[in-house]
DNA sequence: AAAGTAACCTGCCCGC
DNA sequence: TGCGGGCAGGTTACTT
């Protein structure tokens, strides 16, 4: 579900909504989401703590607590973080029957009750999402293999070129590999390569100077615009922001999920191929191999 | 060491 | 109508 733009949108909304709130209670309906700690310990360590800081590392959401512990949430493919879905009258999570009718809320796996009587909820159809509770040193270890953030100041053309020398093979694989650059997934890798006019199978070692520069610019351009429009909800039950709203970037997608449709730049038919078992969308005319 | 594959799960859609 | 196969935004563990 979420890539950098979607997680960044959620982070900004979380900062608005839950900073300094206290976690009063935790309800878990699928303990499988807690990957490194039993529910009972998680509740013990988290209840009564205040939320001090929210951060994004790649696609990871970090919630810093007043007792120095950090909740790490990764939404994987179908996770949603939602706020405020609760039964105000009874001051509880909306009843199960009601939840199951709602396409997003029917998959609630874990809920935090906050001291403003709202719930922060993790919904996740496929149960791939993970929640970890970490000490600072554990967090550091957990994040050590996460690559540079493409929005950070350190992500400049020189550093980008250096990274490219560390890997060979299809450029799309490189863009999606979180240990080099963090935050780019299947949607934006296709969109970035279209913007840069580079074929997704183009080998890193065959990229020209100009292509590298174009790719660098395309990464920033596409991601910033995607954040501006609060991410992409490509399918019906896909990404939602903290308030359950869809993203606004779908209407700007040029190739992703446009197989068989005409390229908006040249009219050629958009193709889909498999790279590393993931769909890659591209224009065979605009994007050079 | 890099590359491929299965696995984690659930639901939907398509064709037969 | 039912069933099987393929598909889906991500990552990791295991095998070649």
A118 CB-to-strand C distance under 7 Å: no
Span CA (A110) to C1' (B3), Å: 36
Per DSSP, the residues of A157-190 read HHHHHHHHTT--SBHHHHHH-TTTBSS--HHHHH
What's the pLDDT at A235?
73
Nearest nt to the A250 alpha carbon by C1':
C9
A224 CB-to-strand B distance under 7 Å: no
What's the pLDDT at A100?
72
Q: How confident is the model at residue A267 (pLDDT cuts 50, 70, 90)?
A: very high
Q: How confident is the model at residue A96 (pLDDT cuts 50, 70, 90)?
A: confident
Strand B nucleotides where any atom sits below 7 Å of a protein CB: 2-5, 8-11
Find the mean pLDDT for residues A171-194: 96
A144 CB-to-strand B distance under 7 Å: no
Q: How confident is the model at residue A92 (pLDDT cuts 50, 70, 90)?
A: confident
What's the pLDDT at A123?
92
Question: What's the mean pLDDT when you consider all of chain A?
Answer: 92
A52 CB-to-strand C distance under 7 Å: no
The structure tokens listed for A14 are 């979380």
The structure tokens listed for A170 are 């299809």
Could you tell me the strand order of the sheet in which A108-114 lies?
Answer: A23-28, A108-114, A119-124, A79-83
The residues of A carrying an active-site annotation are 2-3, 59, 278
> Is the C-alpha dihedral spanning A105, A108, A87, A111 positive or negative?
negative
Measuring alpha carbon to C1', the residue closest to nucleotide C11 is A76
* Rounded distance between C-alpha atoms, residue A242 and residue A235, angstroms: 17
Q: What is the pLDDT of residues A75-86, one digit of tens each?
A: 999 999 999 766
HSE-up of residue A258 (Cα within 13 Å, Cβ side) = 23
Span CA (A45) to C1' (C12), Å: 27
Strand C nucleotides where any atom sits below 7 Å of a protein CB: 7-12
Span CA (A77) to C1' (C10), Å: 6
Q: Which helix (H) or strand (E) holds A51?
A: strand A51-57
The more confidently predicted of residues A11 and A104 is: A11
What's the pLDDT at A87?
67
Q: Which helix (H) or strand (E) holds A45?
A: helix A39-46
A191 CB-to-strand C distance under 7 Å: no
The structure tokens listed for A38 are 């039993």
A165 CB-to-strand B distance under 7 Å: no
Per DSSP, the residues of A86-120 read EETTTTEEPPHHHHHHSTTGGGEEEEEEETTS-EE
Find the mean pLDDT for residues A186-207: 96
Find the mean pLDDT for residues A171-196: 96
Measuring alpha carbon to C1', the residue closest to nucleotide B4 is A276
From the number of C-beta atoms within 10 Å of its C-beta (0-12, 13-18, 19+), residue A178 rates as middle
Q: By C-alpha distance, which of A187, A241, A196 is closest to A214?
A: A196
Q: What is the pLDDT of residues A32-67, one digit of tens each?
A: 999 999 999 999 999 999 999 999 999 999 999 999
Span CA (A102) to C1' (B11), Å: 14
Percent of chain A's residues with pLDDT above 70: 96
* Rounded distance between C-alpha atoms, residue A180 and residue A231, angstroms: 22
Distances (CA, A) of A238 to A139, A231, A234, A249, A272: 28, 11, 6, 13, 20
Nearest nt to the A107 alpha carbon by C1':
B10
What's the pLDDT at A238?
84
The structure tokens listed for A273 are 């191929």
A229 CB-to-strand B distance under 7 Å: no
Measuring alpha carbon to C1', the residue closest to nucleotide B7 is A128
A127 CB-to-strand B distance under 7 Å: yes
A27 contacts A110 by C-beta, under 8 angstroms: yes
Q: Please list the residues that pair with A82 across neighbouring strands.
A: A121
A59 contacts A75 by C-beta, under 8 angstroms: yes
């Amino acid at each position: 579900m979420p890539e950098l733009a979607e997680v960044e949108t959620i982070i900004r909304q979380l900062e608005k909504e839950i900073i300094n709130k206290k976690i009063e209670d935790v309800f878990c309906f699928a303990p499988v989401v807690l990957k490194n700690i039993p529910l009972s310990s998680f509740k013990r360590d988290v209840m009564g703590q205040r939320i001090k800081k929210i951060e994004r590392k790649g696609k990871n959401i970090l919630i810093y607590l007043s007792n120095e512990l950090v909740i790490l949430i990764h939404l994987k493919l179908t996770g949603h973080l939602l706020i405020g879905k609760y039964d105000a009258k009874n001051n509880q999570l909306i009843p199960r029957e009601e939840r199951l009718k709602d396409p997003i809320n029917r998959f609630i796996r874990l809920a935090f009750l906050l001291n403003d009587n709202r719930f922060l909820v993790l919904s996740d159809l496929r149960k791939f999402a993970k929640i970890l509770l970490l000490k600072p040193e554990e967090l550091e270890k957990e994040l050590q293999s996460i690559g540079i953030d493409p929005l950070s100041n350190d992500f400049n053309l020189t550093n980008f070129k250096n990274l490219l020398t560390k890997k060979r093979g299809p450029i799309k694989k490189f863009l999606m590999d979180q240990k080099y650059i963090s935050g780019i997934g299947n949607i934006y890798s296709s969109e970035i390569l279209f913007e840069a006019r580079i074929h997704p199978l183009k080998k890193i070692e065959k990229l020209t100077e100009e292509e590298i520069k174009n790719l660098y610019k395309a990464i920033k351009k596409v991601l910033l615009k995607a954040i501006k429009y609060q991410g992409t909800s490509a399918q019906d039950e896909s990404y939602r922001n903290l308030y359950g709203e869809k993203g606004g970037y779908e209407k700007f997608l040029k190739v992703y999920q446009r197989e068989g449709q005409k390229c908006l730049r040249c009219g050629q038919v958009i193709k889909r191929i498999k790279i590393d078992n993931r769909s890659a969308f591209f224009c065979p005319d605009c994007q050079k191999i």
